[in-house]
């Protein structure tokens, strides 16, 4: 006899927009407070899914966004959202939502999280708002003093004005033991750092295959596909060392 597991009902929350701030061209931070909740529990790296009033069908209305802040026992979530050129969801969030607006969402969901016990070096590869779950993870590690080994954050963008949370990560370089931060810009010829894409950085620094490193990758599908192919085929890493999540 097959025993079916009872599905838990989906819980939807109503969040009030406390504040909105631009952080880069076409990127905004949103702070959501849940007045009916004392706390909102989640794991660093997880996401929530909004039900936006932009269509009749679920596929039209639902949009998922990673949580940008670390779990802190509060009832406030921070999101970092990029406005896409043809996205009606982000058009609504950027043009129709204001402080005091109500947003309906469910979650948290997602398994793109760090292990409870970190026994390997971590290489975090991202582009654009793909850095958001990594910001949550890094804040969580530092806030709770969780033991970890070396952590290398590799961030890619087009131009310098699109580097998200730069000051925060540069501060972590100074205050978080074992943390390293590299940036690659693809469309700024006068950039003094890496010029081009993120792939050159991890391929240079981790060319010798090591069993004691895990790669976490977050961004658009093309970047992830190329990174996974590089790590698996060109460089020879085991699939179990590669973890990724799409955004957008």
Q: Which pLDDT score is estimated for 58?
A: 87
Q: What is the CATH number of the domain that holds 168?
A: 3.40.50.80
Sequence-separated (6 or more) residues with CB below 8 Å from residue 219: 125, 126, 127, 128, 130, 156, 246, 247
Provide the residue range defining the domain that includes 165. Answer: 121-246
Q: Are residues 48 and 81 in the same domain?
A: yes
Do 98 and 145 touch, CB atoms closer than 8 A?
no
Same domain, 137 and 105: no
* Domain identity same for 21 and 92: yes
Burial label, 90 (beta-carbon count in 10 A; 0-12, 13-18, 19+): buried
pLDDT of residue 246: 83
- The answer to whether position 152 is within a domain reads yes
- Does residue 163 sit within a domain? yes
- The answer to whether residues 102 and 128 belong to one domain is no
* Domain end call among 76, 109, 142: 109
User: Which residue(s) pair with 118 in the sheet?
Assistant: none
Asked whether residue 98 falls in the same domain as residue 136, the answer is: no
d(CA 51, CA 37): 19
- Whether residue 7 lies inside any domain: the answer is no
Is 94 domain-assigned? Answer: yes
Among 109, 141, 175, the domain-final residue is 109
CA 108 to chain centre: 14
Token pair recorded at residue 198: 């993120």
Distance CA 94, CA 23 (A): 13
The pLDDT of residue 248 is 45
Q: Does residue 93 form part of some domain?
A: yes
Decide if 98 is inside a domain. yes
Is the domain of 135 the same as that of 235? yes
Query: What CATH number is associated with residue 29?
Result: 2.40.30.10
Q: Is residue 24 part of a domain?
A: yes
Buried b or exposed e, range 40-62, using 16+ CB within 10 angstroms: bebbbbbbbbbebebeeeeeebb
Query: How do 179-185 and 194-195 pair as beta strands?
Result: parallel
- Here the tokens at position 234 are 């060109």
Q: What does the block give as tokens for 26?
A: 């076409």
Same domain, 168 and 140: yes
pTM exceeds 0.85, yes or no: yes
Pick from 55, 88, 109: which residue ends a domain? Answer: 109
Is 136 in the same domain as 217? Answer: yes
Per-residue model confidence as pLDDT tens digits over 195-240: 999 999 999 999 999 999 999 999 999 999 999 999 999 999 999 9
Q: What is the pLDDT along the chain (248 residues), one digit of tens a residue?
A: 555 555 667 899 999 999 999 999 999 999 999 999 999 999 999 999 999 999 988 888 999 999 999 999 999 999 999 998 778 999 999 999 999 999 999 999 999 999 999 999 999 999 999 999 999 999 999 999 999 999 999 999 999 999 999 999 999 999 999 999 999 999 999 999 999 999 999 999 999 999 999 999 999 999 999 999 999 999 999 999 999 998 64
Find how far residue 7's CA is from the centre of its chain. Answer: 28
Name which of 147, 135, 19 is nearest 71 in CA terms.
Answer: 135
DSSP 68-100: -SPP-SSSEEEEEEEPPTT-HHHHHHHHT--TT
**Do 63 and 127 fall within a single domain?**
no
Other CB atoms within 10 A of residue 188 CB: 15
Q: Do 134 and 57 reside in the same domain of the chain?
A: no
In a domain, 28, yes or no: yes
My answer on whether 71 and 44 are in the same domain is yes
Please count the structural domains in the chain: 2
């Amino acid at each position: 006899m097959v025993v079916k597991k009872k599905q838990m009902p989906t819980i939807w929350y109503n969040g009030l927009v406390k504040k909105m701030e631009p952080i880069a061209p076409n990127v905004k931070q949103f702070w959501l407070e849940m007045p009916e909740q004392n706390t909102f529990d989640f794991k660093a790296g997880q996401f929530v899914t909004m039900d936006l009033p932009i269509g009749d069908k679920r596929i039209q209305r639902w949009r998922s966004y990673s949580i940008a802040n670390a779990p802190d026992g509060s009832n406030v979530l921070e999101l970092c959202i990029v406005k896409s050129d043809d996205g009606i969801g982000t058009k609504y969030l950027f043009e129709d939502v204001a402080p005091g607006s109500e947003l309906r969402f469910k979650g948290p969901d997602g398994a793109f999280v760090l292990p409870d016990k970190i026994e390997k070096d971590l290489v975090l590869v991202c582009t654009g708002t793909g850095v958001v779950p990594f910001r949550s993870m890094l804040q969580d590690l530092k806030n709770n003093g969780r033991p970890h080994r070396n952590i290398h954050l590799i961030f890619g963008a087009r131009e310098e004005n699109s580097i998200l949370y730069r000051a925060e990560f540069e501060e972590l370089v100074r205050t978080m033991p074992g943390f390293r931060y590299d940036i690659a810009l693809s469309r700024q010829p006068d950039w003094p750092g890496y010029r081009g894409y993120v792939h050159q950085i991890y391929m240079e620094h981790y060319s010798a295959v090591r069993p004691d490193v895990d790669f976490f990758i977050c961004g658009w599908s093309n970047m992830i596909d190329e990174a996974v192919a590089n790590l698996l085929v060109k460089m020879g890493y085991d699939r179990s060392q590669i973890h990724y999540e799409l955004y957008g």
